[in-house]
Structure 1
């Protein structure tokens, strides 16, 4: 069984008058939301999002269930802003890691992400960022228009390209995590990641600091570095990780056939050799291990790649294998900003058959490449800034 321990904290910081972050963590799910919008609207958005996602995950602890819960939270925040003029423009980021169940009831960690709150993995002292910031500046870094150093000081570094409660449809990044016992996962708002370097985060969040000590030190370090925004952190550590748990039903009969004693019986009790019992147990263990390994390999293979496909006239990005693998079905990750109709004929045919890509970044770039080919065929150069400006809606973190 996969289990984790956790510690969490949130702090207003040294500049903000209120805390618009919301955090929640238990034995099955961890969430950080960073609200935005004036007149406490950001606080409403983040709290509402955390509550609704938590309720949805209680009802359905699958990948699809958690994905749908985030979508429902998005619509709820959007509708609340429409019903209450004082909440106009509110929204929130959200980053979630849940122990999602497959068809066998086996739990594995899955990451869901919208906005610029971050997830990091700590393994053997090495820090790796798991999430991608959904901000204008970071999108430009991925497109090669900015260097990471330029993005760190760019005036649009806090302008989000995605957020919960901003639009009716929401693109959610979904990542299946392959955790090991002892791994630590840090979820945090940008009030932490903007103040501390990766090296500082790795040093503080790693052992020998306990989870509680690490979280407290992270908050204090971010405040010492300026504390310009609300600061939130959840740190979890995996105590145990199982690839699969497949229950094996055993039936033991207590009725044994009677055996007549032979003519040369000496009255000794005849017992079944113990070696046979151990062999049977070993066979069951090997069989269970093989099934567990098979399930784990199938899960990895099923969600190890991405592809582009036509979804109602829009080029969409999916994670998984186009035709599915056994009981694993592909999951739609996000819509791109490009129309399937606006492709050259050969690319349109290729899209109809789906176009495989190794990573989500590769899929994003290839969608842009397809669109640019169509633009060039019409004698028009593609303009990358238009897409970003339209998807951003000038939402600035509050």
Structure 2
């Protein structure tokens, strides 16, 4: 922090030794400390989530924290040093980029694995140096922890090994715990009280999030109302039919509601199997030329801001399914209904990790992502999803 905050100020003393006594510089230094501290803790929390290439989130995290702090200074018309502010942000980003590169080279993430039980599937998870232990006499230096299937019938020697590692200060992880932290998925094995209890979302944040959603929807509708008119006109010119697409979907706590989106498909009377009609396939011939752009850019999702104002949806949460598909998945997949314990979202953890899916096997994997989101329900995970959603909008990942 001293490098990023005090460095620019000390450099300027070469030109003007009295600059440290200027009130605008003192205010900017204090604001920089607040912004840097917020950026540090936010970056640490976001970096703990699976699949996060930490270096990629340094710039947006610190830019967002510095932006909020200096926006408040600007709105309150407080005099500040723009050079000090910009230099502090730049040096903070460069400092953490350097630390991240250095730590990855000097201390790669390594885990030792005790044989037995369900540990074999760990080999499919990348990004970790796995050390497969052959006997309790094996000594592995410089590992971040030891992984074992603690439900397996391990020998006395292995249990002593686990106890020794724990006493020496080495973290010991259950295979399911480490798998969740590395893949971002929670697999439900038994409908037990403890399992469902661990998936209860934070009720306080649930209410705060709804307020944030409502304010955000109001702001979006106010700012983008002219865009709505242009998109509506373009849809009418591109193809015949209504501007908005309406569909019954399964929502919060199992209630059915009608979702609103800009129409991206050719309008025609429903024909054939209702379930097949509700599934969007890769390269679906029903999608219009304009619809392809609206889907990739996610502009077609904006009318759902009205659903958010009505309390039916959130900006972030498990993606709602068409009613007929939801009923199908509920019949095929245990615990599927549990994903409705939070409000469905326009974007979500499964959406940014997996994209659009419809087959039952893929939906089961999606369900594991949804359970991870519910179990780790927090503003930090929501911020990470926002960052990834922006990337998705720029790349078109997962759109159909």
Fold similarity call, TM over 0.5: no
- Whose RCO is larger (CA < 8 A, sep 6+)? 1
Q: Is the strand fraction higher in 1 or 2?
A: 1
TM-score (normalised: structure 2): 0.24
Q: Is the helix fraction higher in 1 or 2?
A: 2
TM-score (normalised: structure 1): 0.24
